[in-house]
């Protein structure tokens, strides 16, 4: 750790602390993600996940892992520094680059679970966009396994997670991408809410309430009976201004309620919306 001088604490945490530091060798700014070991010195699962994923993922739109360090009672990921997250003035510049990062993760059989606007980082000097924070990312080696019920920010969570499905896969990330695209256009969250039920009601008001016909099995999901909104789907062009037919079709396919019908990352990259 002598190589790095900490200049700021960006995000304190009980499990991982995010530090801004200067690399004395390169004189460049880096990010230190410091995982504290438990009393039994057991390595946190999220550290193993994030380190292995960043080691495997080599893409211009995914933040780079520079080093892994052991320091006293902690494990440290040394990451490249990106100056800022996705602010309002950057929203229109990044639509395809963000999706490129997602498709890379999907191609190597990982999904991120934490996609949100704050995890999209921007280097304003080069207009480079990168996805960060893979602490909750997972491999798809056992896609039918039961997974954590709480992942990511509520605003960006897919309906299958909000409805309590114990099994989900890469379509949850494509939902998050759709939420971010909508936010790019509206300059506000597409599905705001401070609870699962509030977010679900916003989702159903825009997309309509799912049925067994449109989403087989939805009625037996644990929290479906708690949502009483019955609504018909709205037209995206009416809800989001400044949206052409291709854009409306892309967001509609990203935000498809039934995860089995949701567009994949590779399909999204080939969509007409990215041809302009």
pLDDT digits (tens, 9 = 90+) for 215-252: 999 999 999 988 877 888 888 778 877 778 888 898 89
Asked if 274 and 99 count as a contact pair (C-beta separation under 8 A), the reply is: yes
Q: Which of these three, 33, 48, 80, is where a domain ends?
A: 80
Instruction: Give the global pTM.
Output: 0.60
Two structure tokens written together for 98: 């963000």
Split at pLDDT 50, 70, 90, the class of 109 is very low
- Whether residue 137 is found in the same domain as residue 266: yes
The rounded distance, in Å, linking the Cα atoms of 94 and 84 is 13
CA 210 – CA 207 distance, rounded (Å): 8
Q: What is the pLDDT of residue 131?
A: 66
Predicted local distance difference test score (pLDDT) of residue 129 = 62
Show the DSSP H helices in 169-244 as ranges.
171-186, 196-207, 236-239
How many other CB atoms are found less than 10 A from the CB of residue 267? 13
| pLDDT tens, position by position, 43-98 | 887 788 778 777 776 767 778 889 999 888 889 999 998 766 555 444 444 554 55
Between vectors from CA 266 to CA 261 and to CA 268, what angle results, nearest 5°? 65
Question: Which residue range(s) make up the domain with 183?
Answer: 84-275
Residue 126 has pLDDT above 70, yes or no: no
User: How is the chain split among helix, strand and coil, in percent rounded to 5?
Assistant: 35, 20, 45
Q: How far apart are CA 97 and CA 72, in angstroms?
A: 38
Residues 191 and 270 in one domain: yes
Q: How many domains are contained in the chain?
A: 2
Query: Of 32, 60, 80, which residue constitutes the final position of a domain?
Result: 80
Sheet strands side by side (includes 120-123):
84-85, 120-123, 128-131
Query: What is residue 84's predicted lDDT score, i.e. its pLDDT?
Result: 62
What pLDDT is recorded for position 107? 45
Q: Which tokens go with 206? A: 């825009």
Give the C-alpha distances (Å, rounded to integers) separating 206 from 76, 86, 88, 256: 43, 24, 23, 11
Token digits for 95?
């639509």
Q: Which range (52-56, 114-118, 208-212) has the least confidence?
A: 114-118
Do both 136 and 174 map to the same domain? yes
- Residue in this structure with the two tokens 């990259």, named with its chain if needed: 269
Examine the domain organization and report whether 69 and 55 are in the same domain. Answer: yes
Tokens in use for 49? 């996940």
Tell me the sheet residues that pair with 123: 128
Q: Residue 10 is part of a domain; what is its CATH number? A: 3.30.200.20
Which of 80, 106, 139 is where one domain is finished? 80
Instruction: Verify that 75 and 89 share a domain, yes or no.
Output: no
116-to-176, 223, 224 alpha-carbon distances in Å: 7, 23, 24
């Amino acid at each position: 750790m002598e190589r790095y001088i900490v200049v700021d604490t960006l995000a304190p945490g009980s499990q991982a602390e995010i530090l801004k530091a200067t690399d004395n060798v390169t004189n460049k700014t880096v990010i230190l993600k410091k995982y504290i070991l438990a009393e039994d010195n057991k390595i946190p699962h999220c550290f193993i996940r994030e380190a292995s994923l960043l080691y495997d993922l080599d893409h211009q739109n995914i933040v780079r892992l520079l080093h892994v360090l052991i320091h006293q009672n902690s494990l440290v990921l040394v990451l490249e520094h990106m100056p800022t997250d996705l602010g309002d003035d950057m929203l229109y510049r990044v639509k395809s680059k963000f999706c490129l990062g997602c498709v890379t993760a999907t191609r190597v059989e990982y999904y991120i679970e934490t996609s949100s606007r704050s995890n999209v980082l921007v280097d304003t000097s080069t207009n480079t966009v990168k996805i960060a924070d893979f602490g909750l990312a997972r491999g798809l080696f056992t896609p039918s396994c039961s997974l954590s019920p709480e992942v990511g920010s509520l605003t960006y969570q897919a309906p299958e997670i909000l409805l309590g499905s114990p099994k989900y896969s890469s379509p949850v990330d494509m939902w998050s991408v759709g939420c971010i695209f909508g936010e790019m256009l509206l300059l506000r969250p597409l599905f705001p809410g401070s609870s699962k039920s509030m977010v679900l009601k916003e989702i159903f008001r825009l997309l309509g309430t799912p049925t067994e016909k449109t989403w087989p099995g939805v009625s037996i999901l644990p929290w479906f009976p708690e949502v009483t909104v019955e609504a018909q789907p709205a037209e995206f062009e009416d809800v989001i201004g400044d949206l052409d037919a291709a854009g409306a079709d892309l967001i509609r396919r990203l935000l498809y309620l039934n995860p089995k019908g949701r567009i994949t990352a590779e399909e999204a990259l080939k969509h007409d919306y990215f041809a302009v």
